[in-house]
Structure 1
Amino acid sequence: MTTTTSHTPPESEGHPEGAVDEGGRNARLIHHDTTDIPAHLLYRDGPDPVNPAAPLPPAVVPARQGTGEQPRAEGAESVRRRPLPQPDPKLVERPAPVLPGAFGMLAGMAGIAAGLATSWWAGVLPPGVVHALRLPVSPRAGLGAAQWAAYAGAWILGLIGFGGLGRGRDGRAWVLGLFGGYRGTVRRTGLFWVNPLLQRRPADVRLRHWRSEAVPAADPEGLPLRVVVLVVWRVRDTARALLGVGDHEAYLRACVEGALARVPVEPAAEGGVSAAGDALTRLVAEDAAPAGLEVFSVQPVRAEYAPEVAAAMRRGRIARLDARQRAGMLSAVVDAVEDTVTRLSARGLVELDDYERKALVRDLTVAFCSGRGEPA
């Protein structure tokens, strides 16, 4: 079957979309006896001249001979994890407005002093206190509107001064909020003063480790496992950890369980635990980052098969060990028999025909196996 390509005649160069050949057919098609094939489909790397905005068709990679590999589309995307939702960009840790604790102490002491002065002014201060403080004679103005207003001011001043005091410690932080909004984080140590109307939530920012319970997992063959992991982590962004998720510790546990569901763990393979730990650390760190958590290490410390398959795996392991031991014993017996027969023949101690050689080999094999505690 012959395929011919028609070239665009000179008179149709000014009309690329309506170009026709001598037979009246479209010049942008390769004409075949059965169908017309668009010529631009032969050049995958170039855009469609008719519709340049159209996406390129995926190239099909043929199967390699003798491998059983199926043809695949080179441009087809593999199944990927959906990106995690990013937290509110406004919900990022920032320093809170804070004053030294001496400011609050002075304000509180001023409130107490104002209250005592108002009581002396109203004449309700006990005489013993007046004498102890060496105050002049009270005017005894009584409890009028002015005195009650002075009492209210002194009470408010003392409440603002003492109510805003806080104490910071190393490894601890305070997350401040007002009317449901985030106002900042206090990481300083010692006595400090903040607005007493702010809600204060403590946050532990120390380096912490968590040893999990037995978490369901699977080995590379898909057999169920029970894995105990050790996680080293800390709170990096207090705003996201306390306000971005309901419970950041429960969120971390869920991230570990999700990573174990995706990463196979080899409980007995040499080097398997290390490789699994690296993959688990990477996945958990990526999942926990939007919640303001910094994960340093996720290492399996114990991996056991589930009870329903543990007995079968134990029997299989024992069978493999027994087969390996028998194979090693058989190799040692064969080498010993061969060496014995060769040395006897080389030194001329015995002259054996085929029948006698076979009998000697059988007897030596039985003797050596019996000496190793194995039945012949």
Structure 2
Amino acid sequence: MTESNVIALTSSRERTASTASGYLMLFILLLSIIVQIWGIAQLANEQDGLLAIVAVIAAPIVLVFVACGFYMLQPNQAAAITLFGDYQGTDRATGLRWVLPWLMRKKVSVRATNFISDKIKVNDLRGNPIEMAAQIVWRVVDTAQALFDVDDYKEFIRVQVEAAIRKIGARYPYDDFDHQDVTLRGHLDEVAVELRKELIERLSIAGITVDECGFTHLAYAQEIAGAMLRRQQAQAVVAARRTLVDGAVGMVEMALASLSEKKVVELDDERRAAMVSNLMVVLCGERDTQPVVNTGTLYQ
């Protein structure tokens, strides 16, 4: 038997429970109190003894029977009804409710709840240790599954969130210095959508869905953070130098073309090379240039 078949056989499904409004039963409760007071008063006056005795005996029984069946549900709250361990249905109607006293009620909140995971260490696609944490907004959509298909659905959520983060974190690199692949740092929204799909699939067995998902922490682990920072700085310097050199080459080409077009000066190959060298030094140097006066010729 496969795992999917086992889940299908043991999966519970929520259904509507047979319950009653508590306001009618509250009226009966008050009526039983009045009847008991009347019976006591009749016995005290020694009038209608048999009827008074029946009222005094029956009224407390009705009072206890009715009082034990009351419960109250607030908005976005449900109650799972069981009879000697057998699931009878779920009541989602708000207000004062009533069921038979021997039916047990287990209240479950179906409100949206926010959960923030702990920071966990994960190895990304390239094996680099990184730290990740996520926040999810979840809610119970099937009370029967949440109560009867998992032992503790809140603890189940915590474990499954950690497992999903590890799986998604290992699927992508933290960063791609060539900017060609989907990365955790550069594509947070896309990765968050994939994490939400993974969580919905994992939590469906517990009757829970995920409305929103996102990362609250994403960084290299401390043992490699310094090395990765130096690598990023070096790559930033290289990228800046590349941009600077590309711009300098374009300016040199423009200068030489303008001089040739306007015939300001005739340059042979050697003088052209010397001029290119000087311009590149001036444009690409980190410090201010110091002019040097040449009183001779280029060949001296």
TM-score category, normalised to shorter length? 0.7 to 0.9
Secondary structure at 2:197 match in 1: helix
8 Å Cα contact 1:216-1:260 kept in structure 2: no
Amino acid at match of 2:233: I
Does the CA contact (< 8 Å) of 2:282 and 2:289 recur in 1?
no
Unaligned runs of 5+ in 2: 176-182, 291-300
Listed one character per residue, the Cα deviations across residues 231-260 of structure 1 (whole Å, up to 9, x for unaligned) are 232211101112221221221222221112
Counterpart of 1:110, as a letter, is L
Of 138, 147, 162, the match for 1:233? 138
**Which has a greater percent of helix?**
2
Matches of 2:47 and 2:289 in 1, distance apart?
Answer: 118
Instruction: Give 2:34's aligned residue.
Output: 113
Partner of 1:322: 237
Mapped partners of 2:30, 2:81: distance in 1: 25
Q: TM-score, normalised by structure 2?
A: 0.80
The question of 1:344 aligning with 2:270 is answered no
CA positional deviation for 1:228? 2.7
Mapping of residues 277-356 of structure 1, within 5 Å:
277-356=192-271
Q: Corresponding residue for 2:178?
A: none
Higher gyration radius (CA)? 1
The structure-2 alpha-carbon separation of the partners of 1:104 and 1:320, relative to structure 1 and needing over 3 Å to count, comes to same
Q: Helix, strand or coil for the counterpart of 1:86?
A: helix
Q: Is the 8 A contact 2:117 2:162 kept in 1?
A: no
Pairs within 5 Å for 1:132-211 = 137-139=45-47, 147=53, 151-211=56-116
**1:350–1:241 Cα change, 3 Å:** same
1:93 paired residue among 14, 24, 29? 14
Supply the distance in 1 between the matched residues of 2:29 and 2:127 (Cα, whole angstroms): 67
Q: What's the % identity of the aligned pairs?
A: 28
Shift of 1:157: 0.9
**1:271 positional shift:** 5.7
SS at match of 2:213: strand
1:168/1:187 contact within 8 Å kept: yes
The match for 1:222 is 127
**Using the alignment, how far apart are the partners of 2:187 and 2:276 within structure 1?**
45
Superposition deviation, residue 361 in structure 1 = 2.2
Partners of 2:71 and 2:289 in 1: how far apart? 81
1:253-268 equivalent positions in 2, closer than 5 A: 253-263=158-168, 264-265=171-172
Contact 2:10 2:149 in 1 (8 A): no
Q: Label 1:87 to 1:169 Cα distance change in 2 as closer, same or farther (>3 A).
A: farther
RMSD of the alignment, in Å? 3.1
Aligned residues: 278
Q: Secondary structure at the match of 1:298?
A: strand
> SS in structure 1 opposite 2:7?
coil
State whether residues 369 and 375 of structure 1, in contact with CA within 8 Å, keep that contact through their aligned partners in structure 2.
Answer: no
Q: Which amino acid aligns with 1:251?
A: F
Query: Which amino acid in the other structure matches residue 98 of structure 1?
Result: T
In the alignment, what sits opposite 1:48?
A: none
Instruction: Give 3-state SS (helix, strand or coil) of 2:18's partner.
Output: coil
How far apart, CA to CA, are the structure 2 residues paired with 1:88 and 1:179?
21
**Structure-2 change in CA distance of 1:172 and 1:349 (3 Å):** same
Instruction: Give the TM-score normalised by structure 1.
Output: 0.65
* Deviation of the 1:267 alpha carbon: 5.0
